[in-house]
Amino acid sequence: MSWTSDALESLEVAGHRRGGARAAVVELLGRQNCCLSAQEIFDQLRKARRPVGIASVYRALEALAELRLVKRVEAGDGIARFEPAPVDGDHHHHLVCRDCGKVEAFSDSRLERAIDRVAGGLGYSVDEHEVVLVGACADCS
């Protein structure tokens, strides 16, 4: 089952009605392979002739985050970005260019294993994690 339909159903189960703006945000997020800021979501929906208020974008993201359907990513520039929470094993993390601000995804299974191992021994029930690497990308260095 796709993340999009899964998210729409989870929202419904959680007592939310199927509103147009929220569905548009969910459908856009479901088509991404990396994170988007609220403003980017707002702009892309407007470009796609499906304009919504920026407040609705934030409210949709809040509802999705509450249900852990999206993950909040902070890349170090003070702008929150959001992406679909990993369903299966497509877990990834982020690589930020210090110069141009570009955000890219990467994944590494050995890193995941190291994180799972350390998370187990801390006295917390860790249910989410994020790794951000910062440096200069090939274009900028």
- Euclidean distance between CA atoms 70 and 74, whole angstroms: 13
Contact predicate 18/12, CB 8 Å: yes
Angle at 8 between CA 7 and CA 13, to 5 degrees: 95
Closer residue to DNA (CB): 27 or 112:
27
- Site membership for DNA, residue 21 (CB under 7 A): yes
User: Edge-to-edge strand order for the sheet containing 70-74?
Assistant: 36-37, 80-84, 70-74
Of 5, 9, 31, 51, which lies in the binding site for DNA, with binding defined by CB under 7 A? 51
User: Residue 119 corresponds to which tokens in the numbers above?
Assistant: 């998370």
- Options 56-64, 86-94, 103-111, 126-134: segment touching DNA (CB under 7 A): 56-64
Footprint on residues 101-140 left by DNA (CB under 7 A): none
Closer residue to a second copy (CB): 23 or 119:
119
**Could you list the residues that contact DNA (CB under 7 A)?**
15-23, 37-39, 51-56, 58-62, 78-80
